[in-house]
């Protein structure tokens, strides 16, 4: 059994990866460019991919291919319909990063809300050492207590974030991007109401036709001036040029972005040109990637292969 992991660098250095040798000969590639896919998968029985596209061309030249394991929840990088016609099983992984993303969401919120960068710089650049008093009130910050916390996409991660927000005595409301979620624990509202009433707007939705460019300049103008926008869902839900314009006009308190329309970030991305950089936190699609989350991901891939082989 030949198992090929085409982009193992996307899950980092984990000893758990080597467990896959239990099922056969594991070949690991740090990354795989589009032109390298054919040679690397030609004799494979099982392909593991995070972002590498597995399309009809790849499947047609891999006659032994029986299983495609996606090292993620999203399955848009595999031609699922064609795989079905070829009798190739496709298995993804769900619910491995819930706690990591929820934790990262609040880490990002507090970084902006408490002006952590400003106060850290104030101490480290020597200004605090020259202060005549024990404290410093250079930037005003607020408590989450009694604030309205708006969640866009109340799935597994959204619900985890909601529970944490409640621990800070926030009032949680949500907008269902599909229109089908009717969670009785929280108040469901329309998008305009969520934007206009929330101090925190936290996005945990998938990218699809309903959510692409869901939040742009026009939508941000409806938000409170003290509001923080967080996107740990998918790049493309927030229209980046509109967000940059809104931040430069001080329309909102700040924004925290972990996902972008194109990744890695392009050099001409408008968010890199925002003038007031203290209002914007950008992280490199890392919210999901705690060590525990990545370990669980690999354990679930192991279980998927084991299940497939035992069927």
Q: For 19-28, what is each residue's pLDDT tens digit?
A: 999 999 999 9
- pTM, two decimals, is 0.95
Query: What tokens appear for 191 in the block?
Result: 């998008």
Per-residue pLDDT of 159-188, as tens digits, reads: 999 999 999 999 999 999 999 999 999 999
For the chain, the domain total comes to: 2
Per-residue pLDDT tens digits for 148-160? 999 999 999 999 9
- Measure the CA–CA gap between 26 and 266, rounded to whole angstroms: 33
- What is the distance between the alpha carbons of residues 45 and 285, in angstroms, rounded to a whole number? 30
The dihedral through the CA atoms of 300, 302, 304, 310 has a sign that is negative
Contact 139, 160 (CB under 8 A): no
Catalytic residue among 39, 143, 249, 263: 263
Residue 285 known to be catalytic: yes
Count, residues in the chain = 311
CB 219 within 8 A of CB 201: no
CATH number at residue 217: 3.40.50.720
What's the whole-number average pLDDT of the chain? 97
- Do 242 and 186 belong together in one domain? yes
Give the DSSP letter string of 227-265. -EEEE-S-TTSB-HHHHHHHHHTT-SSEEEES--SSSSP
User: Catalytic: which of 37, 234, 239, 294?
Assistant: 234
User: What is the three-class DSSP state of 224?
Assistant: coil
pLDDT digits (tens, 9 = 90+) for 183-242: 999 999 999 999 999 999 999 999 999 999 999 999 999 999 999 999 999 999 999 999
Same domain? 125 vs 246 = yes
For residues 106 and 160, membership in a common domain is answered with yes
Judge if 74 and 137 occupy the same domain: no
Cβ neighbourhood burial of 160 (10 Å; 0-12, 13-18, 19+): middle
Distance CA 307, CA 302 (A): 9
Residue 68, helix vs strand vs coil: strand
Residue 98: enclosing H or E segment and its boundaries? helix 98-113
Same domain, 236 and 208: yes
- Domain of 156 in residue numbering reads as 98-282
pLDDT in tens, 10-63: 999 998 999 999 999 999 999 999 999 999 999 999 999 999 999 999 999 999
Judgement on whether residues 111 and 15 belong to the same structural domain of the protein: no
Same domain, 110 and 183: yes
177 and 226 co-located in one domain: yes
Question: What pLDDT was estimated at residue 63?
Answer: 97
Closest CA to 192 of 218, 169, 212, 172: 218
Residues 85 and 121 in one domain: no
């Amino acid at each position: 059994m030949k198992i090929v992991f085409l982009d193992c660098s996307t899950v980092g250095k984990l000893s758990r990866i080597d467990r896959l040798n239990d099922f056969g000969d594991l070949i690991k590639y740090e990354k795989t460019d589009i032109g390298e896919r054919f040679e690397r998968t030609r004799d494979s029985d099982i392909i593991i991919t995070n972002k590498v596209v597995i399309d009809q061309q790849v499947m047609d030249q891999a006659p032994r291919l029986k299983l495609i394991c996606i090292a993620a929840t999203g399955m848009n990088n595999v031609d699922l319909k064609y795989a079905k016609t070829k009798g190739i099983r496709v298995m993804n992984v769900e619910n491995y990063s819930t706690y990591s993303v929820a934790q990262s969401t609040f880490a990002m919120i507090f970084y902006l809300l408490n002006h952590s960068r400003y106060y850290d710089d104030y101490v480290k650049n020597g200004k605090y050492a020259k202060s005549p008093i024990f404290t410093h009130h250079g930037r005003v910050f607020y408590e989450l207590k009694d604030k309205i916390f708006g969640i866009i996409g109340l799935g597994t991660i959204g619900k985890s974030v909601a529970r944490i927000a409640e621990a800070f005595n926030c009032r949680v409301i949500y907008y269902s991007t599909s229109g089908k979620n009717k969670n009785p624990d929280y108040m469901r509202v329309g998008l305009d109401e969520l934007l206009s009433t929330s101090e925190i707007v936290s996005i945990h939705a998938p990218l699809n036709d309903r959510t692409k460019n869901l939040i742009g300049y026009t939508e941000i103008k409806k938000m409170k001036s003290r509001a923080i926008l967080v996107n740990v869902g998918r790049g493309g839900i927030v229209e980046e040029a509109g967000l940059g314009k809104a931040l430069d006009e001080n329309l909102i308190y700040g924004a925290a972005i972990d996902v972008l329309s194109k990744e890695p970030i392009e050099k001409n991305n408008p968010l890199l040109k925002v003038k007031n950089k203290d209002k914007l936190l950008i992280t490199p699609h890392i919210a999901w990637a705690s060590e525990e989350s990545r370990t669980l991901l690999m354990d679930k891939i192991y279980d998927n292969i084991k299940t497939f082989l035992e069927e």
